[in-house]
Amino acid sequence: NNMIYGYARVSTKKQLDGNGLEVQEKALLDAGADTVVKEQYTGTTMQRPKLDVLLEQLTAGDTLMAAKLDRIARTAAEGAAVIRSLQERGVAVHILNIGILDNSTTGRLMMNVLLAFAEFERDMIVERTQAGREIARTHAGYREGRRPLPQARKDAAVAMIRNGYSYKEACEATGLSRSTVLRAVQVVRGKHSL
């Protein structure tokens, strides 16, 4: 017998209004979920053990339901990959604020829209990372290919942050860890208020 599994998730750090477990659970049950798997994780780890188990359990004819795509994936690209692998196994995915992503005409259309967003997202990341490297290269001592001097990499990361890039992008472009970049920014902010 086919089951509709709801999946609700919150990260403990941001219990945002409308994203609380109870709110998600109610929305999923109201939409027809037979059972709801609830998960809570801290912002530091991206592990979702309950979701992993649920994804393995689903069989052809079942439906995975979530309030929003960001509950089951961090990016459109990841969402598209998860949904596609489920579709191949005959599992439908129902995202409440998008619709049912199955093999119907509408489902395929929504999937194409999602894939277009995933591609856009990847292009943006690539473009921004390249632009970040360009900024990084303008800093003395930052050499592409060879390990640049640590200070030059830190300066480049700080320059990227000042230019409106995210910490993730600065880390990707300079190869530094987030904590290193955070410290470098704090050091600079200490010297002269940014």
Q: Find the radius of gyration of the CA atoms of the chain.
A: 21
The one catalytic residue in 11, 85, 104, 177 is 11
Q: Distance (Å, rounded) from C-alpha 31 to C-alpha 50?
A: 21
Sheet harboring 63-66: ordered strands across?
Answer: 35-41, 4-11, 63-66, 92-95, 99-101
Question: Is residue 24 located within the same domain as residue 96?
Answer: yes
Q: Model confidence over 72-97: pLDDT tens digits? A: 988 888 899 999 999 999 999 999 98
Domain range for 158 = 122-191
Question: Is residue 138 located within the same domain as residue 176?
Answer: yes
Task: For residue 11, indicate whether it is catalytic.
Answer: yes
Q: Model confidence over 93-147: pLDDT tens digits? A: 999 988 999 888 888 899 888 888 888 888 888 888 888 888 777 776 666 665 5
Q: What is the pTM of this model?
A: 0.63
Q: Domains in the chain: how many in total?
A: 2
Q: Which of 45, 71, 103 finishes a domain?
A: 103
Q: Model confidence over 156-187: pLDDT tens digits? A: 888 888 888 888 888 888 888 899 999 988 88
Q: Distance (Å, rounded) from C-alpha 77 to C-alpha 82?
A: 9
Contact 170, 157 (CB under 8 A): yes
Question: Is residue 146 located within the same domain as residue 62?
Answer: no
Q: Tokens in use for 127?
A: 């473009």
